[in-house]
Structure 1
Amino acid sequence: MKIVYILDTLARVGGVERIMADKMNWLAANGHEVTLITAAQGQHPHSFRLSDNVRHVDIDARFHVQYRYGYPMRLWVRWRMNRRFQRNLNREISATDPDVIIATTYYKADVVCSLRCRAAKIVESHCARSFTGRRDGVTRGRVVRWFHYFFLDRYIRRIEQRADVVVALTDGDAREWSKARSVCVIPNVYNNECAVPACRGFKRVIAAGRLVYQKGFDMLIEAWRTVAERHPDWTLDIFGAGEKETELKRLIDRLALSGSISIKGPTKRIIEEFSGSDVFVLSSRSEGFGLVLIEAMSCGTPCVSFDCPYGPADIIRDHEDGILVENGNVQRLAEAIIYLIEHEEERRAYGLRAAENVKRFLPDRVMPRWVALFEGLVK
C-alpha cells in the first residue's frame, strides 16, 4: 500500500514528530511504501530517526518567512507561499499516486482534504478539537482575536466536511468530532525499550514539555513551593524550552525556589532522565494525548497528572500505576507529589505496574489498527 504523510517539518523535537517517525518506520518495515512530504524541512536534519525505506520529499513552501515582513507585505508573501504549497503538493501527489494520505490538525489539513486524487484522506487530531489553535498563550486584541477564531472555526469545519476519517487519540476528543464524516479512536504508540531500574532513591521529580501556557508549568512551580517546604532535600527538574521560559524563571526566583527547581533545555536523552527520577509530573491545562506519560511509565516512573482533557485518564489507572488530580487544583497536585514521596513502597509498586500497563501502547499492538483502517478505506 502507498501511504503519504504530510507535515510542516520533521526538524522540531516534539511528541508529534516522534510519533510520526515511529509510525512511518513501522509501516515501512512491514511492507508498505511510505513517503513523507514536508513543506519546510530545508537542510535541517530529522529530529528523530527516519528509516532508509521511508522516502522523504520537501516541497519548499516555507511559510515562516512571512514573519520577516510587516503588513501588508506579509499577506502577499503568505499568498505566494499558499500557491507554492498547493502547486508543489499537487505535483508530488500526482507523481506518487498514493492509496492513503495522512495530515494532522496542526498543519494544512483542510488543503490536504481538498486534494483531487483517488487517495483516502485521513486527519489525525493531536490536540483536542476545542483547543486546536486556541490555547496557544498568544495575547491578541479583540479584533485580531475575533478573526483568529473565525478562521479557526472555518478550518475545523472544512476538515469535518472533507476528511474521509478523523482519527482521535481519545474517546473524549472523538466525541468533539461528532460532526465529522467519520471518526475513530486510535491511541498514540510508543517505541521505547527501557530497562526499569532495580531500585530508586534519587529524591528527584521531573517534568518535560514545551514551556508554553498550555503545559501549566506555572502551576507546577506553585505546587512545588508546598512540596519543598515539606521535603527540602528533593529537587524538581523541568526539561523543555519555549516562550514562557523567562517568565517561569522569574516565578521560581520570586518564590525563592531556585535551590530546588532547575529548568533544563530540551533533551533527546529524556528516557535516561525518566530512569533517573522517582516521580514524573504532568501539569498541563489540556493535552491531545500525553505521550510523555507513556514514556515515563515505560521506565517504571510513577506519574502524577492533572486530569485534563484529554489523555491522562486514558493512560493512568488512578491509584494503581499513578495518581490523577482534579484539573487545575494546585494544592491537590502538591499533595499527590508529597504522597508518593512519603510512601516509598507504594511509589515503587506504582512504577512496576506502570511499566507493565503501558505495553498496550506498543507499536505491534496499535499499528495493526492503522493498517485495518487503511485497508477498509481502500476497499
Structure 2
Amino acid sequence: MKIIYIHESIAYKGGLERIFVEKMNYLADKFQYEVYLLTTSQGDVPFSFPLSPQVRHIDLGVRFHSQYRYRYFKRLREAKRLDNLFRERAQAVIDDICPDFIICTTAWKPGVIGRLKGKAKKIMESHCAKEYMAIPDNFSRGCIRDWFDRYEAYKKCRAVQKYCDVLVTLTVSDARSWAKGFRRPIRVLPNFTWFVSLEGYLDYNATRAIAVGRLTYQKGFDQLIKAWAEVHKVYPKWKLDIFGEGVLKDELNAQIKTYGLEGTVTIRPFTDYIAEEYYKSAFFVLSSNYEGFGLVLIEAMACGLPCVAYDCPHGPADIIYNEEDGILVEKGNLKDFTDSLIKMILRDEDRERMGHNAKIDMERYSPENIMAKWDTLFKKMI
C-alpha cells in the first residue's frame, strides 16, 4: 500500500508536525507500508522530529513564504502562481508513484491538493477545529484581515467537502461541527502518544506545575498567569513553568513582571526532553481558549500527571474524566480555574490518585490502539 503525506514542511516543533511524523514512521516501520512525505518548502532545513529512513521524502521546492515580500495585490498573483507550480510538481510525483492514499490537513491547501488527479483516495485531517480555522496566532489583525481570514477558512471548508473521500477528526465534538450539511464520511481517530510506554518516577510532592504550548492566543496563558497570581498569594513556594515559544512571549513576560511573579512563573523554550520535565512536576495545566485535540494533555497524563484544564472546544472533555484523572473547569471561569489550581495543590492524596488513574486511562491513546484503527480504515477504503 502506498501513502503520500503532503505538508508545507516539517520544520516547526508543533504537535501537528510531531504526530504526522510519528504516524508516517509507524506505518512504514510497523505495517511496512510504502510511505512518502511530500513537502513544498522544507529545503535544507532539518526535520523538527526524526523521520524514519523507511519514509521517503520529496521536496518540491515551492517556497510559499516568498510571496510575502510583495504588496497585497502582487502577493495575490504570486500566491496563485505558487499554487499552480505546487499542483504541477505534485501531480508529476503522484503520476510517478501512483499512491493509494493522499493525506493532508484541512487547514493547508486542501483546495490545491484536492484537485490532484489519480486513483488515490484523499483523506483530510482536521487538526484545528472547524470553527477556529479562521483565527490566526495573534487572534486579531484588523477588520479587513479578519474578514480575509474568515473567507480563506470558508474556501478551505468548501474544498474539504468537495474533494476529500474521508474526513478524519480528532474529537467527537469536532466531528459534529463538520457534520452539519457535510456529505462525506467522517471518522474520529484521535492522536496517540508514545508516552504511555515510558517508565519514570513522578514526584507528586514536587512544588511545581507545568504548562506546554505555543505562546499564542489559542493557549490562553494570559489567563493562567492571572490565575497563578492568586495562587501565589496562598502558596508562594509553588512554581509554574510554561514551556513554549511564540508571538506573545514578550507580552506574557511583561504580564509576569506586572504581577510580580518573576522567579515564580517562568517561560522556558521548547525542549526535546519534555517527558523529563513532566516527571519533575506535580500536575499539568491547560488554559486553552480552544484546541484541535490536546496532544500535550494526553502526553502529560500518560506520564502520570493529573491535570487542571478548561473545558474548551475541542479535546479536554474527550480526554479527562472529571475528578477521576483531572479537573475540568468551565471555559472562561477564571475563579473556578484558580480554585481548582489551589485544590490540586492542597489535596496531596487526590493529586496522586488522579495521577495514577491518568496513566492507566491514557492507554486508550497508545500507538497500537490508534494505528490499528488507521490500518482498518485504509483496508476498508481500498
TM-score normalised per structure 2 = 0.96
Q: Determine if the alignment matches structure 1 residue 167 to structure 2 residue 168.
A: yes
Which residue number corresponds to residue 187 of structure 1?
190
| Residue correspondences, number | 378
Paired AA for residue 207 in structure 2? K
Distance in 2 of aligned mates of 1:199 and 1:59: 47
1:163 touches 1:180 (CA, 8 Å); kept in 2?
no
1:212-257 per-residue CA deviation (whole Å, 9 max, x = no partner) reads 0011000000100111011000000111110111111111111111
Q: 1:279 aligns with which of 274, 280, 283?
A: 283
Query: Aligned partners of 1:199, 1:270: CA distance in 2, in Å?
Result: 15
- Partners of 1:191 and 1:8 lie apart in 2 by 25
Shift of 1:31: 1.5
Deviation, structure 1 residue 96:
1.0
User: What TM-score, normalized by structure 1, do the two folds share?
Assistant: 0.97
Aligned counterparts of 2:81 and 2:112: Cα–Cα separation in 1: 15
Return the alpha-carbon distance in structure 1 between the equivalents of residues 381 and 356 of structure 2: 39
Which residue number in structure 1 is paired with residue 16 of structure 2? Answer: 16
Structure 2 residue identity aligned to 1:353: N
The CA distance in 2 between the partners of 1:268 and 1:198, in whole Å, is: 18
3-state SS of paired residue (2:17): helix
- Structure 1 residues 1-379: aligned runs within 5 Å: 1-29=1-29, 30-134=31-135, 136-178=137-179, 179-192=182-195, 193-197=197-201, 199-378=203-382
Unaligned stretches of 5+ in structure 2?
Answer: none
Aligned AA (1:63):
F
Q: Which amino acid aligns with 1:287?
A: E
Tell me by how many angstroms 1:74 deviates: 2.2
Report Cα offsets for 1:82-112 as digits up to 9, x if no partner: 1211111111111111001100123112221
Paired letter, 1:333: F
Displacement of 1:368: 1.2
Q: Secondary structure at the residue paired with 2:194? A: coil
Whole-Å separation in 2 of the counterparts to 1:108 and 1:176: 20
SS of residue in 1 equivalent to 2:103: strand
1:210–1:186: structure 2 CA closer, same or farther, 3 Å change rule? Answer: same
Specify the SS of the correspondent of 1:72: helix
- Gap change, CA 1:184 and 1:66, over 3 Å in 2: same
Distance 2:27 2:232 in 1: 46
1 CA distance for matches of 2:140 and 2:351? 40
- CA shift for structure 1 position 377: 1.3
Cα distance in 2, alignment partners of residues 146 and 110 from structure 1? 19
Q: Displacement, 1:135? A: 5.1
Letter matched to residue 65 of structure 1: S
Q: CA deviation at 1:190?
A: 0.9
User: C-alpha distance in 1, partners of 2:23/2:150?
Assistant: 32
How big is the shift at 1:61? 1.1
Give how far 1:343 is off: 0.8
d(CA) in 2 for partners of 1:180 and 1:148? 24
- The range that moved more, 45-54 or 78-87, is 78-87
Q: Distance in 1 between matches of 2:272 and 2:163?
A: 37
Q: After the TM superposition, which segments of 4 or more aligned residues of structure 1 sit over 6 Å from their partners?
A: none
Residues 96 and 316 of structure 1: CA distance in aligned 2, closer, same or farther (over 3 Å): same
Please tell me the residue identity of whatever aligns with 2:188.
Answer: V
